[in-house]
Structure 1
């Protein structure tokens, strides 16, 4: 695109240089019109994202889709890059490290994890463009991610988990709580499950996780019991594992599952913020505290990096005291 622009400028310059004195404006316009007709020229509105940047974003997303990135991740990338394009209205090759720092500086009030997520998307985008030789160098390469906040995931205690169970008023609520806790699945993984996916003989099913990777997860006796009870209460033909309560029956949305768990937590009078991911944290923390091997929990959670699972291995004060009493040589 830059070469075409330079070529256009060169042609216009040469044309104007060769025009004789006393040539009319009409003749100049005709000469320029003849040159410009060979190019696709679009006016760039300063208020709008640069078309070149938008084009490269679509190219990047297409590439990532071919690499097998999940639709959920692609939507996240698209949203983040759209916001970026609205702030940095430049051609991709003209974007500098300073531009990225100024852009990220707009979000200093956000948590470091959120800021790191925004930077990660930009690094993925510009790194991909540089690797594909679309841009000469990656302007995000020199930017270091912010320090991560050292906060342990807020899992439910055994008592709080029981309070959640007791607070369930509908069959669907109880089945959902038991499935989320027993499997340790992500919200998107549970939301996409179908009834036919459940193997009641082995009390397991296969889910599609991050990076489109498949893994096997397992149910508890309680989860299986309440799932069967939930299925018997339904008179629909929907294939989805969890559906809406009102007609027309359809697969429950991720937002619907979040809302359901939030309602149960409020009813149980649990003060901490309880989300679907809290149930995943609870599965990991309580399982590890009960003696499960870290590698096994890593596989069950679908973590590629053991360090991601390691954050759940920080045991409670009570568990530490128990271990001290049990293993200290007197």
Structure 2
């Protein structure tokens, strides 16, 4: 057992030591361990320590302000990895994680984007272990970002937006579409809105974004008119800005809005109608009309400007016009 332990240490230190240093390390360990018995610890005890570290990490992320949904995704991703690797977390190597990510993608037929999301979560976890001195160096450092295809995602055209508005039979649905289209807010932000969050005079409202951070978003005159008409038609006392159509009226959920938009899309023969596409449409139009990217970043509530750039799709016609203008 001593030889296995020594071999594991030398393997972990291989890239950091030259041949002579490795030889010295082996001799030193053999001498230091001569009077000791080395045994393998019980797997239940190992599992307990790993579980404890995962719990501590999740608590640290909760203090940082991560949402419950994000925390659940983090914990699930880390525990799935540990179940696959079957090693104490502090002894997990780069090779273990590479093997896991490869099998994870092949087994589930998952996209590269999904695999890279898991890699980022593991990177955050092991970086925290390093910062807290549980490990010397994160094994994820040598695992590079998974390259993904840069797909241009579609946005709604003016005609499609008008067709959706025309398909609305309820004032709520019309106000809902206008709100998404003119503010670019996330659907998760919209379902949390209360009537009191809306300032009709300034045509703005305060939303609670990712990380429980508040920001102001703005809506246009058409949205103001349709939203006021919807609120005036309501007879309930519910504080929520958007509620269900049936009594008792209660706050709309994310899935409720997604389902309603799909229904509206089917009425006019549109496929893939979903709330996030409104956000991408606003970002693309803002860039197209010359809005500074820093201002758009603030409007959308993005932490990193790279995220904002991924949202916006530059029209090919504008690229062509710019080429003619600046190059000839």
Q: What do residues 256-276 of structure 1 show as CA deviations (whole Å, max 9, x unaligned)?
A: 1221222222222123x2221
Q: How far apart in 2 are the matches of 1:63 and 1:313?
A: 33
Aligned CA distance change for structure 1 residues 135 and 306 (closer, same or farther; 3 Å): same
> In structure 2, what is the equivalent of residue 280 of structure 1?
279
Kept in 1: contact 2:57–2:125 (CA 8 A):
yes
- Give the greater-gyration-radius structure (CA): 1
Cα pair 2:77 2:121 within 8 Å, conserved: yes
**2:65 corresponds to which of 62, 68, 72:** 68
Alignment partners' CA distance in 2, 1:240 and 1:161: 25
Q: Corresponding residue for 2:252?
A: 252
Structure 1: 5+ residue stretches without partners: 1-9, 15-40
Count of residue pairs brought into register by the alignment = 288
**Residue in 1 that maps onto 2:296:** 297
Other-structure match for 2:17 = none
Aligned to 1:58: 55
TM-score, normalisation: structure 1: 0.79
Q: Deviations over 1:206-253 (max 9, x none)?
A: 212223322110011121122112212222222111122233432221
For 2:75 and 2:187, how far apart are their aligned partners in 1?
A: 20
CA shift for structure 1 position 289? 1.8
Query: Matches of 2:190 and 2:157 in 1, distance apart?
Result: 22
1:320–1:144 Cα change, 3 Å = closer
> Secondary structure in 2 aligned to 1:44?
helix
Matched, 1:192 2:189: no
Unpaired segments ≥5 residues, structure 2: 1-32
TM-align CA RMSD:
2.7
- Give TM-score, length-normalised by structure 2: 0.79
Q: Does 1:163 align with 2:160?
A: no
Query: Does residue 100 in structure 1 map to residue 90 in structure 2?
Result: no
Change in Cα spacing, 1:313 to 1:68, as seen in structure 2 (3 Å) is closer
| Residue 223 of structure 2: aligned partner | 223
CA contact (8 A) 2:153 2:313 kept: no
Q: 1:174 to 1:310 in 2, by over 3 A?
A: same
Q: Deviations over 1:180-222 (max 9, x none)?
A: 1111111211121111100111010121222332211001112
The 8 Å contact of residues 166 and 268 in structure 1, kept in 2 or not, is answered as no
Once the two structures are overlaid, the 10-residue window that deviates more, 109-118 or 237-246, is 237-246
**1:79 corresponds to:** 76
Task: Indicate the larger mover: 191-200 or 129-138.
Answer: 129-138
Distance 1:281 1:262 in 2: 17
Taking the aligned partners of 1:43 and 1:263, their CA distance within structure 2 comes to 52
User: How far apart, in 1, do the equivalents of 2:134 and 2:170 lie?
Assistant: 55
Contact 2:204 / 2:217 at 8 angstroms: preserved in 1?
yes
